[in-house]
Structure 1
């Protein structure tokens, strides 16, 4: 008779490893910390070796734990989709993609028909939020999404199996072509400055006008926006110059609705990155859809 490992222990091990925390794993599983620890001990007793090394703070897998993790991850993914495969029915619930309003309007929306065609068996539901709410929260997922497109600091990237990065982006100033045609863009530094939040002030790195313009960039912006999408719309309508990220404005540059005001060599690398992150409960379409979106972004930036 097969001596199988305790399934509750495998689930607890997977959750603890993903969160690097017994506390967060307990919260996800709806258990007490002691219950999670008890399941982990049972799993270690089954295999006869330590699986996790306790640190201060956090924890990490031992070599045996790393070997187990490589097998447990695909096993749980397979079991998660077992009901649909056995019944032959797909989940009637829509697959929910969470995205910032700016990314939806300036990049994702024109690609939705192709995304739908690539996944014809799924009903896709798009929900929006302000992505900055998720800065600095590795591994966290908004409840209303199965797949979240998050704009996060590079330092907060996850290296786990439920997140993939988009291509690296650059930041540069853009304005409406009409300003340049009218002669106003010859020295773009004199154009009205449009700002997104407080990042455009001194200390905002590549998003700070002071970084680009020195003392001249410390003047009060002509307009300030809480969302980069609004700032880009204002720039497109001729209100001034705004600092933009490459993925958001790629279509507008190609269609000549905006124009880049510096040489390629002057563009600055972005300290943030777009990632596609999916929830523990998302079915096996999530990584495939994330890969499709990343590939679409790569094509956009390669043009």
Structure 2
């Protein structure tokens, strides 16, 4: 067992994580509000202490060695957890506050309404929502909970499924549509394209492929890079969009949108309520988790 008295000072580990994140000392120094010389000295001190090289020096920047990657995998989540704990202590840990991070779409179309319901039942608990499309396993550690999309296999997180991913074509209720009897009928409609190259999301070619139909978007098709934008475009009557059921439920119920055909692709992925395995949840967080899971199962 490692002697805890031999642990490197925290500032050395913070400097190491920052340099690993940016791949260069200058950017890490700006992030830490230190000089480049100070950060370089901290990295050398950590390498001397461990008697191992953590970075390979290249003309274009620094690259982690095998030992550096191994250290980063351990240090990064621990620093995030430490920072989150200190923030909670500074804010008053006994206050009934719960924080949750989710994508902008999930926060707006799915979580917010449930938060309103929860607040009616438990007005004594304040829930803070942080909406960010940059959410990942590591950013979740900074909050009590996160809502992550995927297969549920995040090693450092406890994960409970909230809702399945189901995607169907939708359009404005007053949009002039011909009869749609089979999937192929959709290919001739004005389809609002989703450019999802920068993130993990289904587009029209992938959706058609599930039904065994080859499809290539026309060159002049309306193309947007966010699911929320394609949904807004459909509501404005600009064409047919892919609709994620967690986003469109209320709009379908109100009649603002209508399904185009009866074709639904259930991908097998889910959105999960997740939290760090290393964290002991507060009573308020446990109450919120149980309430949210119960509302999803009812």
TM-score, structure 1 normalization: 0.52
Correspondence for 1:12 among 7, 12, 15: 15
Is the contact made by 2:17 and 2:75 (CA closer than 8 Å) also made in structure 1? Answer: no
Residue aligning to 1:39: 42
Q: Secondary structure of the residue that 1:8 maps to in structure 2?
A: helix
Query: Which deviates further from its counterpart, 7-16 or 50-59?
Result: 50-59
Q: Distance in 1 between matches of 2:95 and 2:13?
A: 25
Structure 1 runs not aligned, ≥5 long: 277-282
Q: Distance in 2 between matches of 1:10 and 1:255?
A: 54
Shift of 1:12: 0.9
Q: Distance in 2 between matches of 1:88 and 1:260?
A: 51
For 1:204-283, list aligned pairs within 5 A: 207-208=203-204, 212=208, 218=218, 228-233=227-232, 235=234, 240-245=239-244, 247-249=246-248, 258-259=258-259, 261=261, 263-264=263-264
Structure 2 runs not aligned, ≥5 long: 274-278
Is the contact made by 1:106 and 1:229 (CA closer than 8 Å) also made in structure 2? Answer: no
Correspondence for 1:52 among 51, 54, 66: 54
Correspondence for 2:82 among 74, 78, 82: 78
Shift of 1:126: 5.6
Residue aligning to 2:170: 174
Query: How many matched pairs?
Result: 263
What CA deviation, in whole Å up to 9, does each residue of 1:65-104 have, x standing for no partner? 625852674366336534754895569999695753x444
TM-score, structure 2 normalization: 0.53
CA 1:245–1:125: 2 relative to 1, 3 Å: closer
Residue aligning to 1:184: 179
Q: Secondary structure of the residue that 2:192 maps to in structure 1?
A: strand
Q: Distance in 2 between matches of 1:190 and 1:68?
A: 48
For 1:157-168, list aligned pairs within 5 A: none
For 1:35-184, list aligned pairs within 5 A: 35-47=38-50, 49-54=51-56, 56=58, 58-63=62-67, 66=70, 70=74, 73-74=77-78, 77-78=81-82, 81-82=85-86, 85=89, 88=92, 99-100=103-104, 102-113=105-116, 121-122=125-126, 124=128, 172-175=168-171, 184=179
Q: Distance in 1 between matches of 2:26 and 2:235?
A: 47
After superposition, the CA RMSD in angstroms is 6.1
Is the contact made by 2:115 and 2:127 (CA closer than 8 Å) also made in structure 1? Answer: no
Q: Distance in 2 between matches of 1:43 and 1:183?
A: 68
Q: Secondary structure of the residue that 1:185 maps to in structure 2?
A: coil
Is the contact made by 2:14 and 2:79 (CA closer than 8 Å) also made in structure 1? Answer: no
Q: Secondary structure of the residue that 1:173 maps to in structure 2?
A: strand
CA 1:42–1:127: 2 relative to 1, 3 Å: same
CA 1:51–1:251: 2 relative to 1, 3 Å: farther
Is the contact made by 1:173 and 1:241 (CA closer than 8 Å) also made in structure 2? Answer: yes
